[in-house]
Amino acid sequence: MAEVVLQEGESLDAALKRFKRKVQQEDIIKEIKRHSYYLKPTEKRRLKQALARKRARKKMAKMME
């Protein structure tokens, strides 16, 4: 759970910016989106394989440079 304590003399905008950064670093939004709907096991497996292929293509492209 991301938590930001407002420091003395700190503006609300700065604290909000810190909070957003912390949420992004902890991948909270990604986790919420992942759990917002049900994926059947076959769909999960297909998605996982697609991501693996994408990573492999990216790695090969980087090696070719």
Return averaged pLDDT per consecutive 10 residues of the chain, 65 residues in all: 87 92 88 87 95 96 88
Q: Is residue 35 part of a domain?
A: yes
Q: Is residue 5 part of a domain?
A: no
Q: Is residue 58 part of a domain?
A: yes
pTM above threshold 0.95: no
pLDDT score of 65:
80
Q: Is residue 25 part of a domain?
A: yes
Domain of residue 56: give its range.
12-64
Q: Is residue 38 part of a domain?
A: yes
Q: Is the dihedral of CA 42, 45, 50, 53 positive or negative?
A: negative
pLDDT score of 64:
87
* Total count of domains within the chain: 1
| DSSP assignment string, 12-52 | HHHHHHHHHHHHHHTTHHHHHHHHSS---HHHHHHHHHHHH
pLDDT score of 57:
96
